[in-house]
Every structure is written in structure tokens, then in C-alpha cells.
Amino acid sequence: MNKQIILKQLNNLGLEDIEAIIYLYLLEHGPRTHLELSRETNIDRSKIYRDVERLKSKKLLEESNNARGQKLRAANPQNLELLIHEKEQEIKIQKDNLPDILRELTSLPSDEQINIEIKHYRGTDGLKQMLWNHMAAKKENLVFG
């Protein structure tokens, strides 16, 4: 299968571009150190560290230590099922919360229910009129000066 198609499918599963490149590279070439991975993929080493951490949190990378240092190895591709399972759980939670959110949103006052009036006053007479309106108001009254 075309490598670009595989990378696109990994993106669809929730991997960022660099994460997908790293994962696929390690599957194809075996364990590598952070430095080797950076040099061989032409990805900045600081980005490698960040994306490796995200891949580890997604259970797609494993670390091993040997006499030559720490090596990164791609986890079994079956672990991609975990990503789908997590997305399914997120969608289920969102679906369960939807009725409550809709109820709250529909109970908010609409534009037709809100009666806002803006008045502009100038000078001493305007200030007197504004204070009189403020004192006579039966509803909420906001004044900016």
C-alpha cells in the first residue's frame, strides 16, 4: 500500500503528521534512539521528544534500555484499536450529555426575549437625565461613563 495512504489513515485515527511518520518509520526500520530517529527522519529532535511522549501516551511506542542507551520501538499495530475504542467512549459520553446541553441551551433567553435599549447623553443635563433613568428603572440598568 502507498505510504501516503497509510499516513493519511493514521491521521484519521488521531495521529498528528509527525506522530504518524515516526510510528511508521519505527515499524519499518526497527528500534532507534531519539537522536537516530531525528537524523534519519529529518525531524527536529525537540519535536521528536514531544511526539514520542504523545505516542507513548497513545500506547503506540515502547521504550527499552540496553547497554547502548534508550531505544524507541513501535508497539504492535493492534494497539490502534485502543485509539478507536477511546474515540468511541468520548462520543458515547458526548451523546449522553447532549440532552442536558440542549435543555440548557434552549432555556437561555433569545434575542426576542431580551429588550435592550441604548441611550446616549452628553453634558450636565445628560448626566442628570441618566441618573433619573437609573433611579426610576425597574429592571437591571447598566451605566457606562
Domains within the chain, CATH numbers bracketed:
3-80 (1.10.10.10)
Strand partners, 61: 74
Cβ atoms of residues 52 and 19 within 8 Å: no
pTM of the model: 0.64
Over its length of 145 residues, how does the chain's per-residue pLDDT go in tens digits? Answer: 688 899 999 998 889 999 999 999 999 999 999 999 999 999 998 899 999 999 999 999 998 887 777 899 999 999 999 888 988 999 999 999 999 999 998 888 776 666 677 778 888 888 888 888 878 877 776 666 6
